[in-house]
A and B are shown apart, each in its own frame.
Chain A
Amino acid sequence: MTETLTNPVLTLLRLIPGVETLSDGMQVLLSGFLAGVILFAFIAVFALYAVYLERKVAGHVQDRLGPMEVGWHGLLQTIADAIKLLNKEDFAPKDVDTKLFTLAPFLVFMTALSVFVVFPYDSQVSIANLNIGIFYVIAISSIAVPAVIMAGWSSNNKWSLFGAMRSAAQIVSYEIPVGLSIICVIMVVGHMGMQEIVEFQGGGFWKWVIFRSFPFNFIAFFIFFLGSLAEVNRTPFDLPEAESELVAGFMTEYSGMRWAFFFLAEYGNMLAVGLVGAALFLGGWQPPFEFLSFVPGWLWFILKALVLIFVQIWLRWTLPRLRVDQLMYVCWKVLVPFAFVCIIGVGLWEVLT
């Protein structure tokens, strides 16, 4: 309890007069609520501008300009889109399973939101510094699978069901190489807490995990990155919502705000895997050189994540999509064996040095 009671959100909360007098439990409850609000705002704003970034990058990749009309260079375009979505009718098709249909988008969004709790945004700044941080991230992100199946099943649409089943198979499969590549990191660091992992990597970019036990952690990073692409349904692994095959996958029957929640979750997940990649392999909030430490740590953290997100966007607008069996082939016959090799390599390295 003492660890939780010193988290920055609680410190923020205690600035409000009178909060000190409440019981510990009430304070924790309130701080959780506040953290939720902060994260929601953070992800919503991020998603708006990630969409803008995506559209701009896509535009320039495709020899066009992207959004240009609303605001300076289209900066307000996605806000206009969000307002449009908010104004749309709350519509559910006939014969859907209303309870599941309504619940699914929120559950998906909830899982996307929950993982942000453990990230080390700066030294000492994280909402909850769990000692099993990375394990928590993997565990929570799996809750999205039943939620996606709920969405697909309740929509009463065969395309949605296809999308949901593909998504479930894909996320479950790709969690294995991702998990194995994360084990490589844990073996080097010897700790599962996110803050400890980042602190371990201080003192210049050559101390980052990606350059430890070279080349095994380097390969592990690529396995992690590919696996995370699949987990967040990005091209070339965007089969669950393959537009040309499944119309829109499990989101086919959703519209308006419900759809927007899936959308927010998607971009939230993109950011989440970017942040996880940055924290585990690229030193999190640690600057690449000591003399750059005047730049605030959270900026480094976000920048590193944005680089990974940019690569995700870049790949999306370059590559075609794999087929279901090829997807499974890549996972089980390429990534998983390589991940095992990496674990053995890292293990030997750690033992021998």
Chain B
Amino acid sequence: MPEIKTEDVYIELGRHPKAGFAAEDLILQMGPQHPSTHGVLRLECVTDGEIIKKAVPKIGYLHRCFDKHAENENWQQVIPYTDRIDYLASMNQNFSYAITVEKLMDIEIPERAEYIRVIVSELQRIASHLIAFGTYGLDMGAFTPFLYAFRDRETILDFFEKICGGRLLYNYIWIGGVSHDLYDGFKEECMKFLDYFEEKIHNEYNPLLSFNKIFIERTANVGIITPEQAIDYGLTGPCLRGSGIDWDLRRDDPYSIYDRFDFEVIVGKGEKGTVGDSWDRYMVRIWEMVESIRIIRQALQQIPEGDIISEKVGKVVKVPKGEVYGRTETPRGELGFYLISEGGKGPARLKSRSPCFSNLCVIEEMSQGYMLADLVAILASIDIVLGCIDR
């Protein structure tokens, strides 16, 4: 494995090893087994005491050849693999892939299926942001928010289990619709949960962590991503919106039926520090959960009866020749699939554009000069999932 040599860094910094009284730098391997790297990420850090001079992410510990493997599967068989790209937001991955294939097939799907898709993917967004919230607390040393987040996420997973049997990997959103209909009483249960959960955000999560003085001290003005940097590195999702850029695919490039709902796109305003700091990115996720609640409420009120899967899609999915790029807004940002079909039983080529990969790239530039504890805060504020980075 290529290591950073101390001398190279000195040369880069314009200092010779033997010049002056500079202390020798410490090379620190953070990961792949480390509690705060959120999986098997390795950060090669060059530090001066606790000050980070350079932190280079080394990825690939979870690479599973998804893009290549998809070429050997037929159109439907790819869906379970998409579950495993970002295993904390599997519904959104299913959704993204299904939409892309449907775009190429140019088919309409039943109204009810569209609504179910929106409901489950917004529930999944809440579940995913809850993990981001909880692990952020954990990385800042507060253990309790983590368990509160998991308590409420549990209810969402129970919904999913009752709907489709899966709690983590669902294989639920199929080409042309969804695999199972909602169960009786889902609407009432879900509404009840949304009321309960909205109250929890305002009365439990925010006072406990978001507006805690120590938490604000730790995250505000730490890891600032300027809007220019965010665009240059191709950031998407809460990381981009945290930097104050008003861009959300659900509103700006509406897919499915998102144009029917009334919701706001949350952007970072730099309330506690500078626009684009870690606190902003964190807070975007908290308020996005509230917006997701709004969307789900509207969808539950509007949902019609009807089929849940298009009759035009047979057992063997036939996709015409062509190329397509489809994208959706997952909890972590823009997930896109670029597909080439040659009319065969499966994709001839598939390339996935994962949000986490682009989001992680910025860490090398933005972590310089911060302390080791800040690196943990920055990494957590980006909210990476290694499955999504490595695929």
Residues of A within 8 A of B (CB): 58, 61-64, 158, 162, 235-236, 238-239, 242-245, 247, 317-326
Contact = CB atoms under 8 A, between A and B. Distances in A.
A331 to B, nearest CB: 15
Contacts of A242: 141, 373
Contacts of A236: 141, 214
Contacts of A63: 147-148, 151
Contact of A322 (B148, B217, B374, B376): B217
B102 to A, nearest CB: 42
A244 B374 contact: no
A151 B375 CA distance: 25
30 contacts: A61-B144, A62-B143, A62-B144, A63-B147, A63-B151, A64-B147, A162-B372, A235-B142, A238-B141, A242-B141, A242-B373, A243-B35, A244-B35, A244-B36, A244-B140, A319-B141, A320-B142, A320-B209, A320-B212, A320-B214, A320-B215, A320-B218, A321-B140, A322-B217, A322-B218, A323-B218, A323-B371, A323-B374, A325-B371, A326-B217
Contacts of A319: 141-142, 212, 214
Say what secondary structure dominates the interface of chain A.
loop
Nearest to B50: A324
B138 interface: yes
Given A63-B147, A243-B35, A318-B208, A323 B137 contact: no
Contacts of B138: 244
B144 A318 contact: yes
Contacts of A64: 147, 151
B28 A158 contact: yes
A323 B50 CA distance: 11
Given A322-B218, A325-B371, A245 B36 contact: yes
Contacts of A320: 137, 140-142, 209, 212, 214-215, 218
Interface in B7-28: 26, 28
B86 interface: no
What range describes how many residues of B lie at the interface? 20 to 34
A45 B376 CA distance: 37
Interface string B31-42: 000111000000
Given A162-B50, A238-B141, A244-B139, A324 B214 contact: no
Interface of B: 26, 28, 34-36, 50, 137-144, 147-148, 151, 208-209, 212, 214-215, 217-218, 371-374, 376
Given A62-B143, A63-B148, A64-B147, 4 more contacts: A244-B35, A318-B142, A320-B215, A324-B371
Contacts of A325: 371
B215 A247 contact: no
A63 B149 CA distance: 11
Contacts of A321: 140-142, 214, 218, 373
A57 to B, nearest CB: 11
A245 B372 CA distance: 7
A244 B214 CA distance: 16
A319 B137 CA distance: 9
Given A242-B141, A324-B371, A247 B34 contact: yes
Nearest to A62: B147
Nearest to B29: A158
Contacts of B139: 244
A75 B26 CA distance: 45
B320 to A, nearest CB: 50
Contacts of B209: 320
A313 to B, nearest CB: 12
